[in-house]
Amino acid sequence: MNMNFLEEYGINLNSIITIVLILVASIILNKLVRWTIRKFFIASVEKLNIDATRYKFFINTISSIIWILALIAIISMVPKLKAFAITLFAGAGILVAVVGFAAQQAFSNIISGIFIVIFKPFRVGDLIRVGATDRGIVEDITLRHTVINDFQNKKIIIPNSVISSETIVNDNINEMEICEWLELGISYDSDLDLASKIIREEAMKHPLYIDKRTKKEIEDEEDEIEIRLTSFGDSSVNLRALIWMSDPFRAGRMKSDLYKKIKVRFDNEGIEIPFPYRTVVYKKDLPSNEKLNSEEK
């Protein structure tokens, strides 16, 4: 029954075997091409300065072409599918309109992916943030989408056309160094100079810290870490330390380390980190109107 159904569509045993062989050959060819390109890339990455972004995009493009050719070959093996394809192409005007409308977004993603590879707003391995998404590391750039792995190990898959229209924050497009702000508040009674000294000492001891002063700034003996008084709060004097570090991927860990060490130093050396004070007056404690009037008399 099944064979009769297949024969109605012009599919016989030879056709099935040929289709299976085409699929197997496509899988083998795809793996072989990937292995060859990967081997060439690893061997030539230093000599030719090949960017991993181009390698990823190129290998994904080759794989897509192989599967498209395999699909065309399978269609040509099935008479009714072949006849249907010829009929569609005969009405090329309608086909172009239908396919163009249906594949508009797909073509937009492909073109956007090509522009990403050419102009390189980010590369594979970069730490980026796209629009309102969380920061993450670029893992792959395909014909359709870009894969970002965030710090919770979640995969963020964004269509290339969306990325092209969004603001991209790239933490290491040209260099790895990054300036982080350390925000701290101390009480009005605390020693401002001592607090600044503690912050500088703890930051400069951290292994990820780097000195980004220019030669002239070093000659002028300017402070390695700039600490600004940003505002006077309700119960605190607010400081901001601008700290340069060598690794944007571990910037969060460094800030956590510094907050902990600075807190310990503040406690040991009498620098208070204040909390808001509130005075609560209960209604029953207020003097009555009669008592106020008698006191006035």
**Comparison of pLDDT for 62 and 231, the residue scoring more:** 231
Confidence of residue 7 (pLDDT cuts 50, 70, 90): low
Location of each CATH 3.30.70.100 domain in the chain: 178-268
pLDDT in tens, 196-231: 999 999 999 998 898 888 888 888 888 888 899 999
Listing DSSP states for 47-77 in one string gives TTT--HHHHHHHHHHHHHHHHHHHHHHHHHH
Taking 70 as the threshold, does the pLDDT of residue 291 lie above it?
Answer: no
Mean pLDDT, the chain, as a whole number? 78
How many other CB atoms are there within 10 angstroms of residue 172's CB atom?
Answer: 18
Lowest mean pLDDT among 50-54, 138-142, 236-240, 279-283: 50-54
pLDDT at 192: 92
Strand order in the sheet with 155-159: 155-159, 145-150, 136-141, 127-130, 168-170
pLDDT in tens, 125-159: 888 888 888 788 888 888 788 899 988 888 999 99
**Comparison of pLDDT for 242 and 49, the residue scoring more:** 242
Q: Highest mean pLDDT: which of 17-21, 94-98, 113-117, 184-188? A: 184-188
pLDDT at 34: 78
CA-CA-CA-CA torsion for 161, 164, 165, 171, nearest 10 degrees? Answer: 140
Angstrom distance (rounded) from CA 54 to CA 213: 35
pTM of the model: 0.55
Location of each CATH 2.30.30 domain in the chain: 127-170
pLDDT at 1: 44
Taking 50 as the threshold, does the pLDDT of residue 194 lie above it?
Answer: yes
**Residue that is written with structure tokens 């090949």 in the block:** 50
Q: What integer is the mean pLDDT of 229-237?
A: 89
Q: What integer is the mean pLDDT of 15-32?
A: 81
**Residue that is written with structure tokens 């209604």 in the block:** 283
- % of the chain with per-residue pLDDT over 70: 72
Spatial CA neighbour of 139 closest among 121, 152, 127: 127
Torsions phi, psi of 266, nearest 5? -60, -45
pLDDT in tens, 245-273: 887 878 888 899 999 999 999 999 999 98
DSSP annotation of 15: H
pLDDT in tens, 24-33: 888 888 888 7
The set of residues, in sequence order, having a beta carbon less than 8 Å from that of 283 and lying 6+ positions away, is: none
Angstrom distance (rounded) from CA 202 to CA 209: 10
Q: What integer is the mean pLDDT of 99-110?
A: 69
CB 19 within 8 A of CB 74: yes
pLDDT in tens, 65-78: 888 888 877 777 76
Q: Which of 3.30.70, 1.10.3470, 1.25.40, 2.30.30 would CATH assign to domain 127-170? A: 2.30.30
Q: Which of 3.30.2130.10, 3.40.50.1110, 3.30.70.100, 3.60.70.12 would CATH assign to domain 178-268? A: 3.30.70.100
Spatial CA neighbour of 259 closest among 279, 248, 243: 243
